[in-house]
Structure 1
Amino acid sequence: MSIKSADYEEILATYSGRQAAIELLREYRPYLELLPSMRRPLDSTVVITLPLARIDPDVLEMTQLAEVADVSRSRRRHSIESERSTNKPGRQAVRLPCEIALLMCDPEWQVTTGVAVFVFVHRPNEDFYGLMSRWRQTQLLLDRDYEWVMPLAYRHVVGDRADRIYPLFLLSERSPERLQRGLKGATLPYVVCPTQAEPPARFDLQADHTPAPTTDLTRETPHPGPGRSAREAQPTSDPELEGDLWVE
């Protein structure tokens, strides 16, 4: 059984918010303990869906992401630069091969603490090799100095380079079982997300025009014959009626 596109989109949309992302960290306590403040978890995380980072071209060549570099190079002139940005010449904006980046942030100073958790959602038609390769590519891309491309909602946050990066894999109930075996063997954490139930089958109730059997509820109870009382009559249960009828 393979994961469906709707399952992938549902998981991605669900954990793109900060509240849901924090609940996701609760599924793996060592990552929950990375939060700078347990009392202010919402102010302690920066959640970026499909994150972007500015990376040196030589790193891109090493990770064989030239096709991504070509796209980012054409759009580089249109990127919005932060007032505090210290972009180095030649760096290119690249989308990381993960779905979500959770950057730990100091709730008071609004500065990232150098710790990040990267979420990888199992994609349709993706096997264990492809899933692991995306994590390895992320490690290679972020091995050297880089800069975060902060979304508009987090422009006030100073995003420094993460010194410690951790992966978290999200699988669907329809994901192949070998993915769990592989991640266990690699000692990498994963969470199995519930799958949407299949929609119930629809039947055309108008296709059958056979009238349902009816029962005449207006008939009178027969009078007991001579020499017999009503108590001697035996009850019989009619499945078409709600109560019992007394018949002779």
Structure 2
Amino acid sequence: MAVKPVQYETLLSTCSDYAGAMALLRRYRPYLEVIPSMRRPQESIVALPLPNVRIRQPAQSSQAGMTLSAGTAVALPCEVVLLMCDPEWKIKTGVELFILIHRPHEDFSDLLMRWRQIQLLLDGGYEWFLPARHQHLLSEGADTLRPLFVVFPQSPDRIIKGLQGAGLPTIIYAEPTEEGEPVPSLTDELHLDEAADFDLSELDDIGPSDQSE
């Protein structure tokens, strides 16, 4: 059974605010630990659905097949970006999470290429297009970029195996059951260490840790 457009659109809308983002991160505990304040999640997470950036250096666009000049505004090929913010100081922290949801009719190479394109676009530095209510935040990109791939139970096994093989953080998302039973995630199958002992730097191939100014 293929992924349905309504599944994709529903999850995208769910992750577009802090509550939905929190629910998603609870399925991948290592990333839950990067939230500055669990007591004040609304002030700790800024969700940017279908985000746009302005790149600082020329970058190659695989979609357009051309080189983008510095200062160009670009739509990133991910669903949501989660910016972490210190609720006390009202400033961004050094970690940004990029949510990539498996799209209907998308195969493994298409999904992975979206993350590779993001890495290329942001490698030379970038600035965010922020909504009006968050204009007080610095728009400059962070030092640490981390992806989270979200697939569905209907997603082909080759996609899950490919993401696992590439060492990329992945969860299988399914709607909660009527009985409220927890939905298994891929992290349970991987037997990850407890989040308290988890070092983000140990994750394989998940992006540059330093962005040039």
181 and 90 in structure 1: CA distance in 2 versus 1, 3 angstrom threshold = closer
Aligned 1:60-99 pairs, distance under 5 A = 62-66=60-64, 90-99=70-79
Which amino acid counterpart does residue 113 of structure 1 have in structure 2?
A: T
Higher-Rg member (1/2): 1
Which amino acid counterpart does residue 38 of structure 1 have in structure 2?
A: M
Give the SS at the match of 2:151: strand
Q: Who is 1:159 aligned against?
A: 139
**TM-aligned CA deviation for residue 38 of structure 1:** 2.4
Q: Who is 1:15 aligned against?
A: 15
| Distance of 1:186 and 1:115 partners within structure 2 | 21
Matched positions, count: 177
Percent identity between matched residues is 47
Which amino acid counterpart does residue 15 of structure 1 have in structure 2?
A: C
**TM-aligned CA deviation for residue 67 of structure 1:** 7.5
1:120 pairs with 2:118 = no
State the TM-score, normalizing by the size of structure 1: 0.66
Q: Contact conserved, 1:114 with 1:160, CA < 8 A, in 2?
A: no
| Distance of 1:164 and 1:29 partners within structure 2 | 18
Which 5+ residue runs of structure 2 have no aligned equivalent?
Answer: 178-213
Which amino acid counterpart does residue 114 of structure 1 have in structure 2?
A: G
| Distance of 2:160 and 2:114 partners within structure 1 | 16
Alpha-carbon RMSD across the aligned residues, in angstroms, is 2.3
Give the SS at the match of 1:169: strand
Which 5+ residue runs of structure 1 have no aligned equivalent?
Answer: 71-88, 198-248
Q: Who is 2:183 aligned against?
A: none
Q: Who is 2:115 aligned against?
A: 135
68 and 190 in structure 1: CA distance in 2 versus 1, 3 angstrom threshold = farther
| Distance of 1:191 and 1:90 partners within structure 2 | 35
| Distance of 1:187 and 1:159 partners within structure 2 | 29
**TM-aligned CA deviation for residue 164 of structure 1:** 0.5
Q: Deviations over 1:186-227 (max 9, x none)?
A: 121222222599xxxxxxxxxxxxxxxxxxxxxxxxxxxxxx
| Distance of 1:185 and 1:36 partners within structure 2 | 30
**TM-aligned CA deviation for residue 65 of structure 1:** 4.2
Which amino acid counterpart does residue 94 of structure 2 have in structure 1?
A: G
**TM-aligned CA deviation for residue 21 of structure 1:** 0.1
Of the candidates 102, 123, 148, which is equivalent to residue 128 of structure 2? 148
Aligned 1:191-206 pairs, distance under 5 A = 191-194=171-174
| Distance of 2:163 and 2:6 partners within structure 1 | 23
Q: Who is 2:27 aligned against?
A: 27
State the TM-score, normalizing by the size of structure 2: 0.76
Give the SS at the match of 2:114: helix
